[in-house]
Amino acid sequence: MSSHREAPEISKDPVADNTDLYAFVSPDRPDTVTLIANFIPLQKPDGGPNFYEFGDDVRYEIHISNRGDARSDITYQFRFNTVVRNTNTFLYNTGPITSISDPNYNRPQYYSVTRVTRRISGHRSWNDTNVLGRGLAVPPVNVGVRSTPNYGATFTPAAIHDIGGGRKVFAGQRLDGFHVDLGSIFDLGALRPLNAAHLIPLPSAQAVNATAGLNVHSIAIQVPIREISNGGKLPKDVMDSKSVIGVWASASRQQSRVRDPRHGRSYCYGPYQQVSRLGNPLFNEVIVPMAAKDEWNMADPHEDESYAKYVTNPELAGLLPVLYPGAFPRLAAYKKARADLQAILLTGIPSGVVPGFQNNTGPVLADMLRLNLAVPPSATPNVLGLVAGDAAGFPNGRRVIDDTVTIELRAVAGLTIPLVDPSYTPDAVVPSVADGTVNGAFLASFPYLNTPAGGYQSAGISPTPAA
**Site of interaction with another protein (CB under 8 A):** 72, 250, 252, 254-256, 258, 267, 269-274, 298-300, 303
Judged by beta carbon, residue 90 or residue 269, the one nearer another protein is: 269
Judged by beta carbon, residue 139 or residue 279, the one nearer another protein is: 279
The least CB distance from residue 10 to another protein, in Å, is 16
Judged by beta carbon, residue 241 or residue 254, the one nearer another protein is: 254
CA distances from 347 to 113, 332, 358, 359 (A): 29, 25, 11, 8
The least CB distance from residue 301 to another protein, in Å, is 11
The least CB distance from residue 298 to another protein, in Å, is 8
Please, which residues have CB within 8 angstroms of residue 165's CB and are 6 or more apart in sequence?
132, 223, 224, 227
Phi, psi of 106, rounded to the nearest 5 degrees: -85, -10
Q: What gap in Å lies between CA 40 and CA 10, rounded to an integer? A: 10
The least CB distance from residue 72 to another protein, in Å, is 8
Phi, psi of 10, rounded to the nearest 5 degrees: -70, -20
The least CB distance from residue 368 to another protein, in Å, is 14
Judged by beta carbon, residue 127 or residue 425, the one nearer another protein is: 127
Judged by beta carbon, residue 17 or residue 435, the one nearer another protein is: 17
The least CB distance from residue 364 to another protein, in Å, is 15
The least CB distance from residue 300 to another protein, in Å, is 5
Query: Exposed e or buried b for every residue in 408-422, given b needs 16+ CB within 10 A?
Result: bbbbbbbbbbebbee
Judged by beta carbon, residue 63 or residue 168, the one nearer another protein is: 63
Give, for 171, the enclosing helix (H) or strand (E). strand 168-175
Please give the single-letter amino acid code of residue 380.
T
The least CB distance from residue 438 to another protein, in Å, is 37
Q: What gap in Å lies between CA 76 and CA 37, rounded to an integer? A: 11
Closest residue by Cα to residue 358 from 378, 342, 346, 344: 344
Judged by beta carbon, residue 198 or residue 277, the one nearer another protein is: 277
Q: What is the DSSP string of 343-391?
A: IIIII-PPTTTBTTB-----S-----EEEETTSPPPSS--TTGGGGT-T
Please give the single-letter amino acid code of residue 1.
M
Q: What gap in Å lies between CA 146 and CA 17, rounded to an integer? A: 30
Judged by beta carbon, residue 123 or residue 335, the one nearer another protein is: 123
Please give the single-letter amino acid code of residue 268.
C
